[in-house]
Structure 1
Amino acid sequence: MARIYPSTLCLLLLAALPLICAHVIEVGASKKECFFEDLHVNDKMTVTYQVGGGGHLDIDFWLTDPTGNALAKQIKQSTGSASITAKRDGRHEYCFSNQMSAIADKLVSFNVHGVLYVGEEGTLILSTDTVAPIEREIRDLANGLKSVKDEQEYIVVRERRHRNTAESTNARVKWWSVFQAVVLFSVAAWQVYYLKSFFETKRAF
């Protein structure tokens, strides 16, 4: 079994933990927003996203390598995920496009997960199968933390979406009730006026 020194344990933990970046952006109507990550060969990156508001809650997403080849493409999705392993060094770009909508802006929440891969002495390349048990446990823990964070982000977006729907429904019910009350009082006032004028006409003859 490989000997694990305390001084290298933190390094292994840092190498195993994904670099998680959470963002919330607004993609305007007929526009797109693009971002990039500089990756090296065999680096892994995962992008997850959810549409939290606007229009039909859908967005176009694609991810390209440094040469412009599409590595992932998803059309009109409300939530999605794309994972890649870099085949070459360079800038990998991912975009969120709202160009299908001419009116509605979209609110998009997305996470970017990246794993550090280093091959120098004293570190570990996590993709290999020959890993020490403690290193495997650290990797599993890191993956578990990533899943928990993704689930929390998804719950937050769904809660915001449901709250907005409930508030919109409550506003519609309120104004519909006000409209009904106005119509009811208007009809009642018209009936009183009509009956009153009818009897006054009868007495005149």
Structure 2
Amino acid sequence: MSTRYTRTVLLLCLSLLVVVSPLVTAHMIEVPAGKKECFFEDLHVNDKMTVTYQVGGGGHLDIDFWLQDPDHNALANHERHSTGTISITARKDGRYQYCFSNLMSTVVDKLVSFNVHGVIYVDDDDTVAPIEREIRQLANGLTAVKDEQEYIVIRERRHRNTAESTNSRVKWWSIFQAFVLFSVVAWQVYYLKSFFEVKRAF
């Protein structure tokens, strides 16, 4: 492999990282009860954006989610979902808005983990090198793997919290049963003792 070819590959990799990196972000937010949290992404025509989210804590582990284009037209609307994935291709230039809403709850805050990633559109004509196409596909695959890993982490946290809650309930139920058992035994001893006592006549 020539030195010139190696430099070309390295330059393509660095260029791809510079282009793709601004569109890959991961966040963990807490949405207070009765509130909503909104975010914005500036896209151009044919840019692609994917939003994946997972509710990791709070209430019934559900959240409202919607995505709007620059003209405030709804592109997606989820109600009371615990997880979801939305992928869009921009049809016009402008600022796209997506929100997580906890307006349905007046008491419980919600913990939400979400990822935003996308691909900046580049005209894929014959002048694009095959190695660049492969690098783009590799970047998309790595992003998908990263999203899956974060989803697994959130699910593991939810299952661990459920298991700890179950263990706590079993512990307190066992303590309550033991208390009831000793109370019944003490009452029976007292009752039998008083039953066999001889009352003295004065």
TM-score (norm: length of structure 1):
0.86
Q: 2:196 aligns with which of 191, 195, 199?
A: 199
Task: Work out which of the residue numbers 8, 11, 20 in structure 2 matches 1:8.
Answer: 11
Aligned counterpart for 2:145 among listed residues 137, 143, 148? 148
Q: What RMSD, in angstroms, separates the aligned Cα atoms of the two structures?
A: 2.0
Percentage of identical aligned residues: 73
CA contact (8 A) 1:18 1:115 kept: no
Q: Which runs of 4+ in 1 moved over 4 A?
A: none
Measure how far apart 1:87 and its partner are.
2.0
TM-score normalised by L of structure 2: 0.87
Once residues 169 and 161 of structure 1 are traced to their aligned partners in structure 2, the CA distance between those partners, rounded to angstroms, is 12
Residue 128, structure 1, aligned to residue 124, structure 2:
yes
Deviation at 1:18, TM superposition (A): 7.0
Within 5 A, what are the aligned runs for 1:151-162? 151-162=148-159
**Closer, same or farther: CA 103–15 of 1 in aligned 2, 3 Å:** same
Give yes or no for the alignment of 1:60 onto 2:64.
yes
2:173 is the alignment partner of 1:169 = no
2:24 match: secondary structure: strand
Matched, 1:34 2:30: no
Shift in Å, 1:16: 5.1
CA contact (8 A) 2:23 2:116 kept: yes
Q: 1:87 aligns with which of 80, 84, 91?
A: 91
Amino acid at match of 1:35: F
Give the CA deviation at 1:104: 2.2
Structure 1: give runs of 5+ residues left out of the alignment: 118-124
Superposition deviation, residue 30 in structure 1: 1.9
Mapped partners of 1:104, 1:8: distance in 2: 49
Does the 8 Å CA contact 2:64/2:79 hold for their aligned counterparts? Answer: yes
In 2, Cα distance between equivalents of 1:25 and 1:16: 23
Pick from 118, 121, 135: which aligns with 1:114?
118
Q: Which residue is equivalent to 2:106? A: 102
How far off is 1:179 after superposition?
0.3
Paired with 1:170 and 1:154, the residues of 2 have a C-alpha distance of: 24
Residue 120 of structure 1 is matched in structure 2 by none
Matched with 2:176 is 179
Name the CA distance, whole Å, in 2 between partners of 1:38 and 1:18: 11
